[in-house]
Amino acid sequence: MNEIEKTGQAEFDFAAPNPAQKEPSALPPFLRQEGFYFVALGGAEKVGMNMYAYLSDGRIIVVDAGYDFLNDDFPGMELGLADPAWLESYRDCIDAMFITHSHEDHFGAIAHIWPRLRCPVYATDFTIGHILPRLREYKLENEVELISVNQNPVVKLPDFEVEYVPVVHSLPENSALRIKTKYGTVFHATDWRFDDCHIDFMKTSYDRLKQVGEQGVDLYVGDSIHMAHPVEQPSEMVIRESLIELLPKFKNTLVATCFASNVARMESLLIAAHAAGRTPVIAGMSLIQNMNIAKECGILKDVPHYVEAKQAIDIPLDKMLYICAGSQGNYRSGLTRIVNGENKDIKLGKGDAIIFSSQIIPGNEEKIERMQEKLRDAGVEVISSEEYLVHTSGHGCKDDIRRMFEMIKPKIVIPVHGDKRAIRQQKRFTEELDCGVRQVLVVRDGDVVNVKSSYAEIVGEVPTDELGVDRKKVISLGSQLVKNRRRIAYNCSLFITAVLAEDWSVEDLQITSIDILEENDFAALADEIKADMLKAIPAEAVKVSYRAQAVKEYIAAKIRKRIFNATGIKPVTFIHFYKRSRDGEADFVAADTSVNCETTQILYDSDK
């Protein structure tokens, strides 16, 4: 049996529903009116974290379960996701989840979200090929019911009919969804463009789009990312021809990076490498996995020869094209290791070149610019889409959106999946078009939109939150833990241990930090502060009538102030305070308050 077709019963209890979760209950009154409903749990106000729900007659379907890619404001975390808690409250009402395609911001969080919803999952073969390894990471591969739509693209449920409609994107088997209810029809298309590139696995079903329009579309929910571009972007075939022309110009070590999921671009790089007399070398599990899935699904039938990095030891650097992932500056990626000189096989220097065959995902601008500047400083020629035809977007421009509306003829438009500026641009652009759109509605995550008689209205709000993947657990991005990490990241940390004798003299005082000053400089400052504090602490104990808590707060505040006076840094401060009792034992004095100093919190360790 093909692995994509496998389903089975649970062998692990890893994904048991949250025991604290209340039993599913009836939907609230504002969700039981006539008409169908649209709710964005994530993706309505930004790029990434896509998760949407449609409701009709008390039943729910979920569209996508994606990651967001976090920036440096969230130390220790790279991936975010929409909180499924509201959906979990009504999981008995959920009929199915539909995944539109295999980009991480649409399917990546499925192993975190599915265990709380536990419903069948529909997707294309190529997408299922990506979902299975993700489920395997969390020991869920035998638990989730995965259903392929390749042979039967129309899924009929009691209250919904969902059809997968092929539209071009930057990967194979991308789909828009035609969602039909007895109250009206939705066309959900969050990632798409028009590109008649004549690549077999990148096709848009124009005939079906026209039929969808003739059958009637009440609501269009769609992509806003490329609203800054008025006209059609270059075809993928144009990029392929440009790469074929470009590669022979480089004579030394040549590296190319692209999105791992962009199979067409990978194929273009392989073809261009052979045309330039270079052997294509693929490095990184994500790239290799995508190529393997594409071949297993019959998408890449006559793929040009390539070798994996571990097989390329004997190939001269000037005779290979080294292809790796990491174009977005992920600190663990293969490209980052090359840029930092940590790759033992590839070293880039003066006269070498690197091709960024990708665009910058919003939010990654600064780290990619730092990466590229570091390469330029080393004498490496950086080739990007700013100067060369090495990338085209998988998202529709204004002209594409106009053509889409002319075909499907929506009455209502809700722009999503873009930054707020792009979403506002789509609203203005659509309102200026003469294509039959009666209403354009901009929504926020959590807004409940009721659609009835071809009119949409925000009738309520459901609770939403953004979560972050923190190693082996998932936490709220608004939690105190994240705030504390951010404080430490921006303000440094200070650790104090104080042991006082029975007579309130200081037996031991340790002042340590690893991020305020260089080691020797901080040691000298700490010794200076310690010498003064050994005299000041007993005197302060007298002033506060020997109250241990007051003495503890004095030590923390005084040392922190000395650090600030010497360095200008107001560190997050942790203190362990021990006072010997009359029997000679040292009693730990736990914190019973938190002291705030301007905007930086002094934290006391109360875990011991």
SS (H, E, C) 393-419: CCCCCHHHHHHHHHHHCEEEEEECCCC
Amino acid type, 86: W
Q: Quick one: tokens of 73?
A: 């404001």
Six-digit token string for 376:
């330029």
Domains of the chain, first to last: 3-18+34-231+393-476 (3.60.15.10), 236-383 (3.40.50.10710), 492-602 (3.10.20)
- Per the DSSP assignment, residues forming a β-bridge with 81 are 67, 467
pLDDT reported for residue 200: 86
Supply the pTM of this predicted model.
0.86
CA 326/CA 332 separation, integer angstroms? 8
SS3 at position 450: strand
Alpha carbon distance 414, 255 (integer Å): 41
Q: Do strands 146-148 and 121-123 pair parallel, antiparallel, or not at all (unpaired)? A: parallel
Question: Cα-atom radius of gyration of the chain, to the nearest Å?
Answer: 29
Q: What angle do CA 446, 452, 453 make, to 5 degrees?
A: 150
Report the Cα–Cα distance between both ends of the chain, in Å, rounded: 55
Instruction: Tell me which residue has tokens 């502060």.
Output: 529
Strands 493-500 and 121-123 come out as unpaired
For CA atoms 151, 153, 154, 156, the dihedral sign is positive
CB neighbours of residue 360 within 10 Å: 18
pLDDT reported for residue 584 = 59
- Measured in residues, the chain has a length of 608
CB distance 28 to 463 below 8 Å = no
Nearest to 124 by CA among 156, 150, 155: 150
The DSSP call for residue 18 is P
Rounded Cα distance, 578 and 563, in Å: 22
Single-letter code of the amino acid located at 231: V
Q: What's the CA gap between 58 and 151, in Å, rounded? A: 29
The secondary structure of 350-404, three-state, reads CCCEEEECCCCCCCCHHHHHHHHHHHHHCCCEEECCCCCCCCCCCCCCHHHHHHH
pLDDT for the residue 591: 43
Cα–Cα distances in angstroms (integers) from residue 537 to residues 69, 109, 350, in the given order: 48, 53, 59
What pLDDT score was predicted for residue 596?
A: 33
As a whole number of angstroms, the distance between CA 579 and CA 561 comes to 23
d(CA 269, CA 353): 15
Q: How far apart are CA 217 and CA 161, in angstroms?
A: 14
Instruction: Please tell me the predicted confidence (pLDDT) of residue 457.
Output: 96
Backbone angles phi and psi of 211, in degrees to 5? -65, -40
pLDDT of residue 125: 97
Residue ranges of the chain with per-residue pLDDT less than 50 = 1-24, 591-608
Q: What is the reported pLDDT for 95? A: 97
Predicted confidence (pLDDT) per residue in 403-432, tens digit:
999 999 999 999 999 989 999 999 999 999
Residue 240, CA distances (Å) to 197, 270, 287, 292, 528 in order: 10, 10, 18, 21, 65
Spell 379-402 as b/e; 16+ CB within 10 A means b: ebbbbbbeebebbbbbbbbbebbb
- The CA distance from 587 to 463, in Å, is 45
Contact 306, 280 (CB under 8 A): yes
Q: Which residue has the tokens 């539909």?
A: 98
Question: String of b and e for 265-291 (b: at least 16 CB within 10 Å)?
Answer: bbbbbbbbbbebebbbbbbbebbbebb
